[in-house]
A and B are shown apart, each in its own frame.
Chain A
């Protein structure tokens, strides 16, 4: 497989070796630090999730096998959180991907002044997620809020809408904030992909009379296959684990309408004081994401080999 040989030649590409001590000295600090903060949490979650741990009964933590997993999976609140997370992911990932692609196609045009746009596009992605969330809280607030003011002025609504405290709208509000925050990354990755398309292919196809759509389908999309896969997997991971936005925008509410999985795991531990089940939930999420991570690494590394 070409991917394998690519990786192999990468590792054999080297100069004269140096001492084991040097290798150890340069790698050990990083490996130890990363191991402590990734392996221990994994083991800890695994162990805790197989015990009954209730903060209300701190001295009794019997081993109960997979009972926590069975309990949480049977619980309708968990099913609700999974359903919400699924809805959120299905709302955001396609939007972020399509919007990112559209923005990349736009930024790829040689037009004076678009250099500034290419710089601006990083901004929503660079700021703290919490800040992005609070910005949207100010925009969507039910008692004032810029969106309400704007819609009132345009005559679209007659009274202020409570976007964040309406069970039907809150999910869309969180998704909207998430999309605004997340589209820059796909846009940048797609833009980089677009810039690799040789100009003469495009020109030749134009001479041959290929229309806009035909060029997009037959030239642009094939070139964007790898970034597209990466964006889809990566953005799914981001959407599935979103937490900060829920914290500042809705607190999981109203009711449990925006209780996404991360928030639910957090609430299970800290509001319902059940770390055993909280750990089981974390472990389920971590396992799911690990599968996505492995997929992600495969895509990226295959790509590396071909490069």
Chain B
């Protein structure tokens, strides 16, 4: 089984810890994981802002970067949704505009069935829900919209989290409501975006958990931005870092331990 890690551009630059956690986690589960250096961005920021034509080279680039692997695994539901829902559209709409491009067609055909969000890969492909993790903190989980609604991740993340030793999961009120990130929405409609994020943070604080966990760092970056702006006692963390944490190699919080309890 040849598995490629598609880390995503945001994680590569801003959240390398998540990438390291995915690698540690998958290697611990016996998966040999590779990181093709040619990867960059799935094109979602371009596509969702309206620049479909500018997305096309990135779609072709993704297909080239991940050719030959059995599975492409990524710790971002949003980027998987881009591939699964929108790559076929990018190809079909180029065709409809009289610019058929076989490489776009093939990119969609070959990437869609092989691209998995991390929790899908763990539960559906590897068939594990208990990954042997240890994380002795109170955690609340925010299901990001694209994972929740476009991919239908359902209870996969929560199954994985509830099997973690020592964890105390607390239900997030209004969990299924968007955090307000939405890519360029966060700046184009910054007031509404921030209002949504502030409500999300308030709901998370109400749980009393010190850690807000998610499976999409873009959303967490927005939420964390509000947390830090408001000096709220909350620490955001990607689910992969919780699953990677073990008794032998426990998660080391960048903030003081007391703050996340």
Question: Do A and B bind?
Answer: no
